Structure 1
Amino acid sequence: MIVTVTMNPALDITVDAERVGPTDKIRCCADVYDAGGGGLNVARFARALGAPVSAVLTAGGPIGTRLVELLDDAIVPNTFIELRGDTRESFTVNERSTGRQYRFVLPGPVLTADEQLRCLEVIDASATGAAFVVASGSLPPGVPADFYQRIADICRKRQIRLVLDTSGGGLEHITSGVFLLKPSVRELRECVGRPLVTEGEQIAAARHLIDRGVAEVIVVSLGAEGALLVTGDRCWRFAPVAVPAVSGVGAGDAMVAGIVVGLSREWGMESAVRYGIAAATAKLQTPGTSTFDKVDVDRYLEQVPAPTALEGAQDNSRSLP
C-alpha cells in the first residue's frame, strides 16, 4: 500500500481562453475539474498505474466536499480531516492564441492547532502497514514549517519509507528521516541557497543533503532536461523523452507516482526512476492535471534511454560548506 498525504489540496480548474489580458472579460471554455494538490495527484496517478493507494487529505467547505467526491468518482480510497476553513482552488488558463499557460494558485485555509494535531493522528493511523508514505505539496497557512519533519518522525517510528516532494520552508526544515527526496532544481537551489548553475553543483547540493542525513536518495527533476539520481556514493543522469506538451501541470507528481510504484514492485532505483520519467511524459500529453493512461506510460517507458553513470561525481560532491 502507498499512502499519500496532501496537507493543502486544491480543486484544480483548467480552462481554455483565446487570449488573456487586462480589464476585459476573459471568456473561458473546455473547463476541466480535478482533485489536485501534490499528494492527491500522486494518488490518482499511482492508481492509474495499478498500484494500491490510499489518500489522506484535509477538506473544508463546499469545495472540500467536491474534492472528496472527485476522489470517490476516481475510485481513490481516502481519509479526510474536516476543516473549518474552505479548501482552496487553483486555476489554470491555456491561452490558445499563443500556447502560453497561466496558473493562479490560492494559499489555502488556515489550520488551527487542533486541526494540525488531528492531521498527525490520522496520518499515523493511516500509515499502519504501508510500504511507502508520500508527502507532497505545499503546507497551508498556520502550519509550522517543520510539519513534514513530524511526518518523517512518524514514518521512522513505524519503519516506513517516506517520499517527500515539497518546497520552501517545508523543505528547508527537514533534518532527517526521508527515504527519497524529489526536488526540482529551483527547489534545491532555494534549499541550499546557491545558484547551482552546473550539473556538478547540482550533484554537490544533493550529496550535501544526503551527507547531513536529510535523505537517503535524491532525485532532482530537471524539467525538459530529464533528471538526476543521487545516492551516497553514486549518481546517474536520465535523459527525457521529447514530446509536445499539452500541459506541464502535475508532471512532477506523475514522476513521483511512477518512481514510488516502481519501488513498491521491488524494482531497482534506476528502473523506478525510468518509470517515473515515462509517467511524467504521459502526463504532459493530458490537459490540466487529468490522469494519463497506463498504456501510454508503458509505451514511453520503452523510449526512456538507459541512464548515464556520472564518473567522478563523488569527487566533486563535498564542496558545499
Structure 2
Amino acid sequence: MTNILTITMNPALDVSTAVDEVRHTSKLRCEPMHRRAGGGGVNVARELHRLGADVLAFYTAGHSTGRMMWSLLQQEGVACHPHAISGSPRESFTILERSTGHEYRFVLPGPEITTQEWESALQEIGKLCQPQSLVVASGSLPPGVPLDFFARVAQVVQAAHGSLVVDTSGEPLRAAMEQGVFMLKPSLHELRDVTGKPLTRLYEVRDAAQDLVAKGRAQIVVVSMGEMGALLACKQGCWYAPPLHVTVHSAVGAGDSFVAGMVWALAEHESPVQAFAKGVACATATLQSLGSGLGDTAQVLELLQRVQCLADFADEPLPV
C-alpha cells in the first residue's frame, strides 16, 4: 500500500541555468542547463523519495514534455502515475545571475484541461486513495480546472478515510479551507491574501493561523515566512522556528521540500512539532541546492540538529 500520494494538476518541466549578467537585447551565453520534473506535488514526491518514503506521484501529462517528465522521474526512481491529457505540460525557466546572486524565474502557463480530463483525474485520484494515507495536493491549477478542485479532492480523500495536505494559493486555497483539510501550508503572502489582513507582526500571523485551526479549516496550519522563519499552529499549541542561516543558492522547491519534510514525519506518526522541525530542515537543505535541485537526507539530518521550535517567542515586525 502506498502511504503517500501527491497530486500535481499543473506539473512543469523545470529548466535551470546561469549567466554572468542578465542584460536586455544582448545574447546571453548560458552555463550548462539542468532539466528536472517539477510542479508542486512532483517536487514533494521527489523529495519524499529522497528521504526514503513510500510515495506515488499523480500528475497530468501529454505529448513530448510529458514523456520527458516521466523519463526524468524514472531516472530518480520516483513511482509515478501520469494522467493523460491532450495538452502538453508547461515549462519553467530559472536563470541565476552570477554577478548579483539574483534568481530570475519564468513560468509559462499550463495547458487547457477539458472538463472530461479533470473529471476523470478526480475519479482516478479516488481510486488511488487508501485509508489512512496522506494525500498532498500542491501547486497551481491549469486553465479549465475549476477553482474548487482541491476542495473536491478533499471530499474524495475524506470519503476514502485519508488525510489531505494542501499547498496552493488564491481561490483554490480559499475553497479548500472552506471544505476543511488535514493540513494547510500557506506562505505569508498567501495567508494575507486569503484572510484579507495585512499581518504585519508575528503575533498577528500566530492569531490568524490559530483561528483557522479553531474554525476547523485545518488541523495543522504551517506558515512559511521566508527570511523570517516559519510558524506552526495546531490543537496542541503554536510554535515559531527562526530561520537557519545558510548560503542560499536557489529558492526553487523550498516550499515543496517543507511540505515533504512534514509529511515524511507525519507518515511515521511523529508529532506536529517534530514534523515542523523536519519541514524547516528540508526547506533549508533545498535553499542550499542549485536550480530546482533538492536537499538530500544527510543535509536534512545535519540541519535538523540546528532547528529551534519555540513555544515562547517574541512578537516581531514582518516585511510588507
Assess same fold via TM > 0.5: yes
Residues 278 and 304 in structure 1, CA contact (< 8 A), matched pair in contact too: yes
- CA separation in 2, counterparts of 1:311 and 1:281? 21
- CA separation in 1, counterparts of 2:236 and 2:191? 19
For the structure 1 residues 198 and 265, does the alpha-carbon distance in structure 2 shift closer, same or farther, using more than 3 Å as the test?
same
Match of 2:233 in 1: 230
Residues 219 and 228 in structure 1, CA contact (< 8 A), matched pair in contact too: yes
Matches within 5 A, 1:227-306: 227-232=230-235, 234-305=237-308
Matches within 5 A, 1:26-45: 26-45=28-47
Match of 2:118 in 1: 116
> Which stretches of structure 1, 4 residues or longer, exceed 2 Å deviation after superposition?
207-213, 310-313
Residues 221 and 232 in structure 2, CA contact (< 8 A), matched pair in contact too: yes
SS in structure 2 opposite 1:28?
coil
Cα shift readout 1:267-316 (whole Å, capped 9, x = no counterpart)? 111111101111111111111121322111111111112x1114899xxx
When structure 1 is superposed on structure 2, of 292-301 and 204-213 the one drifting more is 204-213
Question: Runs of 5+ in structure 2 lacking a partner?
Answer: 316-320
SS in structure 2 opposite 1:21?
coil
- CA separation in 1, counterparts of 2:198 and 2:314? 21
Match of 1:92 in 2: 94
- The code of the aligned residue for 1:93 comes to I
- CA separation in 2, counterparts of 1:2 and 1:289? 22
Cα shift readout 1:85-142 (whole Å, capped 9, x = no counterpart)? 1110000000011111000011100100000111101111111246200010001111
Matches within 5 A, 1:75-86: 75-86=77-88
Match of 1:11 in 2: 13
> 1:209 and 2:212 equivalent?
yes
For these two proteins, the number of residue pairs brought into alignment is 312
Matches within 5 A, 1:159-170: 159-170=161-172
Deviation at 1:257, TM superposition (A): 0.4
Residues 255 and 277 in structure 1, CA contact (< 8 A), matched pair in contact too: yes
- CA separation in 1, counterparts of 2:13 and 2:38? 6
> 1:157 and 2:164 equivalent?
no
- CA separation in 2, counterparts of 1:209 and 1:59? 34
Question: Runs of 5+ in structure 1 lacking a partner?
Answer: 314-321
SS in structure 2 opposite 1:309?
coil
- CA separation in 1, counterparts of 2:200 and 2:283? 24
- CA separation in 2, counterparts of 1:245 and 1:117? 40
Deviation at 1:234, TM superposition (A): 1.7
- CA separation in 2, counterparts of 1:26 and 1:276? 36
| RMSD (Å) for aligned C-alpha atoms | 1.5
Residues 17 and 94 in structure 1, CA contact (< 8 A), matched pair in contact too: yes
Residues 10 and 87 in structure 1, CA contact (< 8 A), matched pair in contact too: yes
State the TM-score, normalizing by the size of structure 1.
Answer: 0.94
- CA separation in 2, counterparts of 1:291 and 1:185? 22
Residues 156 and 177 in structure 1, CA contact (< 8 A), matched pair in contact too: no
For the structure 1 residues 251 and 193, does the alpha-carbon distance in structure 2 shift closer, same or farther, using more than 3 Å as the test?
same
> 1:177 and 2:154 equivalent?
no
State the TM-score, normalizing by the size of structure 2.
Answer: 0.94
Deviation at 1:209, TM superposition (A): 2.3
Residues 189 and 196 in structure 1, CA contact (< 8 A), matched pair in contact too: yes
- CA separation in 2, counterparts of 1:311 and 1:78? 41
Deviation at 1:207, TM superposition (A): 2.5
Match of 2:318 in 1: none
Match of 1:59 in 2: 61
- CA separation in 2, counterparts of 1:130 and 1:51? 15
- CA separation in 1, counterparts of 2:204 and 2:62? 42
Residues 220 and 272 in structure 2, CA contact (< 8 A), matched pair in contact too: no
- The code of the aligned residue for 2:108 comes to L
SS in structure 2 opposite 1:16?
strand
Residues 11 and 63 in structure 1, CA contact (< 8 A), matched pair in contact too: yes
